[in-house]
Each structure stands twice: as structure tokens, then as C-alpha cells.
A and B are shown apart, each in its own frame.
Chain A
Amino acid sequence: MELHKRTSGSVHIIDVKGDLDLFNSHKLKESVNELVASNIGGLILNFGQVDYIDSSGVGVLIYSNSLLKSNRTFFHIVQLHGSVRRVIELTKLIGFLPITDTEDAALKQIHGAR
């Protein structure tokens, strides 16, 4: 798995690439922790290039959600697809996790809310 960080204004975007599983999901968790500590305007996780997730990966998404929520920071997960989306559905976290179709839509929501 690789993580690529970008920004759009004060919103930080992490492009996750590859499989998110118990061997590497901690890396994503650390990145999220670092960003949150630096007082950002919002965080988007782009899952467009993730085709596999396991329960540890799902755990990191739950963790990130509650961390950013308690920090009152905008958080969106975008471009979930295929079996990754199905896993989230089966775990009944659609609705609980802030899932948005596209990055543009997420950015619009973040900017619109301000």
C-alpha cells in the first residue's frame, strides 16, 4: 500500500493505493494522526485505487471518523468501489462513515459548509 498526500486549500487529501490490510493499515492511521495534529481544514481519503480491505482497514476508517469528529474536522471517504464498498456495506457502516462518491462532491460539501 502507498499513501500520497495532496492538499486542496486547507483540505488535505490522502490517495490510498493498493491493499489496505492488517500489515499496513497502521500506516494510514499514523498519517491521519499526524495530519489531525497539525490542525487541518478537512481530510479526504481517496479510495479510488484500493481494491482490497480487511477488518483492520475498516477499523482504521472507524478510528479516523471518530478522531476527526471529536476534532470537529470535515472528513470524507471517496471513491469506494467494488469489494471494498461491499465490505463496508456488509459491516453496515454505510451511513455511519462519511462516504461521498467523488472528491469534487466532498470538496464542495466542505466548502459549502463553511
Chain B
Amino acid sequence: MTDTELSPSTEGIVIDDRSPLFDTIGMFYKEFPSDLRQIRYFTLIIVQKSPPEFQEVNLLEQQIGEIIKNAIRHGNRHDRTKKVRAWYSFTDNEARLIVEDEGDGFHALERWNEFLKERNRCFQRQDFERMAAYVSFRSEHSSDDDGGNALFAAVEYWNGGVVFNERRNRIALRKIFARIAPGIGIDAGQGQS
């Protein structure tokens, strides 16, 4: 790989306690028990607040569900006495979500970021032989029904950023909905029009 090679794909997940994505002002709040059976219900409750103009609401719901599922599975390890806290807000073109669990944090984050980088490289080159080793991420807590692929989709879907806090038990995500008609102002390369 030459160093001039384009790699604009996501840089992965960063850790930043001071990210504006953690600002909960103006966000709705709900607490959920660590009960996987209620996942679809929790996500519907959250998505319910989105404006009718949102595109692909089913996908939004699915993506929110994966984040909460991760909190229940990997964070709270299915301990029903532990809660999942969720903050969420929607404007006309943006969805924001913060999910916190009572676990001891996503320690494999660095390894995951590396894994993602290699995975994206394989994908870009359409090198599926090699990609076979990078389809599912496994950590010591991965269970059998855990696809190990939810966060790969998440970093693609939440295009406005994915951030963990220092303790790594709180994740903040932001999705910006593209207008149907894309486009940027001329010479707007540095920012968005």
C-alpha cells in the first residue's frame, strides 16, 4: 500500500469525553432494563420521536437496536438488575443517540479499530479471500448469537461520528441524513454548504 492511496473511509471509533456528541441538552431520556426481549420495543419508543420526513426509519430502528443490544450483551452482560440509559434526539436532518451501560467498558476498542481498518482495506480492494478473516470481530465475551458485525455497520451508518467516553461504557452517535439532492457549494471543500 502506497502512502498516497486514498483511504477516506471512517477512521473508526474515537475516545473523547469532551465530544459535543455527549451533550445531552435537549435530548429525550429513557432507562431500559437489560432485557433483550424488549429490544424492538425500546427502539420503537426511541424512533417514535423522529419526524415523519426521515428516510429509512426501519434502518434507523435497526441501527439503534444494535447499539442497545451491545450495551445489554457486552456492557451489562444480560444482568437484568443493570440498566441501559439512552438519550436521543431528532431534528429534520439529524438523529443523535447516546447509550450508556453499567459494564466495565469496551476494552478491545483499539483492537477493533485495527480490525476495521484492515477489513475496509480488503473491501476496497475487493479482496474477499482475505476479507474472510475480517468479517466478524470476536472478543472473549462474544457469544454464539452475536454476529460480531454490528459496529461495522454502525460506523458507516452513523456518519456524523461515533465516540466512546474514557470509561468506554458510554457511546455517542450521530447520523446526518443526506438531502435527496446532494451537492456542495463551489469551493466549499473545507466545510459543508
* Chain A residues within 8 Å of B, Cβ to Cβ: 21-23, 25-26, 51-60, 62, 66, 82-83, 86-87, 90-93, 95-96
Contact = CB atoms under 8 A, between A and B. Distances in A.
A92 B128 CA distance: 11
Q: Which 5 A-B pairs have the closest CB atoms?
A: A59-B147, A55-B147, A55-B150, A90-B153, A83-B58
Nearest to B70: A55
A93 B66 contact: no
Contact of A57 (B56, B128, B147, B156): B147
The interface residues of chain A, by DSSP majority, are classed as helix
Interface residues of B, number: 30
B181 interface: no
Contacts of A53: 62
Contacts of B33: none
Given A22-B69, A62-B135, A87-B62, A92 B120 contact: yes
B56 A66 contact: no
B146 A55 contact: yes
Contacts of B69: 22, 54-55
A26 B147 CA distance: 11
Contacts, number: 79
Nearest to B124: A92
Given A55-B153, A90-B157, A25 B136 contact: no
Given A21-B40, A93-B149, 13 more contacts: A54-B65, A54-B147, A60-B147, A83-B56, A87-B153, A90-B152, A90-B157, A91-B152, A91-B156, A93-B135, A95-B123, A95-B126, A96-B135
* Best-surrounded residue of A21, A26, A53 (most CB of chain B within 10 A): A21
Contact of B152 (A22, A25, A60, A92): A92
B36 A55 contact: no
Given A93-B135, A96-B131, A58 B147 contact: yes
B148 A91 contact: no
Nearest to B156: A90
Interface of B: 36-37, 40, 56, 58-59, 62, 65-66, 69, 119-120, 123, 126, 128, 131-132, 135-136, 144-150, 152-153, 156-157
A86 B144 CA distance: 24
Contacts of B123: 92, 95-96
23 contacts: A21-B40, A22-B146, A54-B65, A54-B69, A54-B147, A54-B150, A55-B146, A55-B147, A55-B148, A55-B149, A56-B145, A58-B147, A62-B135, A62-B136, A66-B132, A87-B153, A90-B152, A90-B156, A91-B152, A91-B153, A92-B156, A93-B135, A96-B132
